Amino acid sequence: MSTKWEDWDESFLDIEDYQVERALNNAAITAIHRARQFGTSYVIEEDGHTKCVPAADTGPYEKVLLENVERLSKKLAELQTKNPNALSLNESPDQPKN
């Protein structure tokens, strides 16, 4: 199994981009858990080909995904520390006029 890794230029990425990638990794982990639960295969694309991985053989894939989630969570925490209001709107409610 080879993992495709690209070092992103953070000039165009923001917190939401990292959140989306983390959510996708979490969804893949959930798919692995469900494959194990129901005794089915985990279907992936690898090297341009569809591959069915038996539930018992998903350990290496899950390990990579868990490492990605951990890395992304650290990056999100770092970004949140640099800009604690990054997820808040740039608007404030209108003040009532007397």
Pick from 38, 18, 37: nearest CA to 87? 18
pLDDT at 81: 86
Tell me, yes or no, whether 61 lies in a domain. Answer: yes
The pTM score is: 0.72
Total domains present in the chain: 1
What is the structure's pLDDT at 87? 53
Asked if residue 98 belongs to a domain, the reply is: no
pLDDT at 86: 56
Q: Alpha helices of 1-98 — where are they, by DSSP H? A: 15-38, 59-82
Q: Is residue 57 part of a domain?
A: yes
Give average pLDDT by consecutive 10-residue segment, the chain, 98 residues: 64 82 96 95 93 94 97 91 64 60
**Residue at 1 is within a domain:** no
In a domain, 88, yes or no: no
Distance from C-alpha of 38 to C-alpha of 55, rounded to nearest angstrom: 9
Boundaries of domain holding 46: 15-82
Residue 10 lies in a domain: no
Pairing status of strand 49-54 against strand 41-46: antiparallel
Is 41 contained in some domain? yes
Which of 29, 32, 21 is closest to 73 using CA atoms? 21
Whether 3 maps to a domain, the answer reads no
| Contacting residues for 18 by C-beta, under 8 A, at least 6 apart | 72, 75, 76, 79
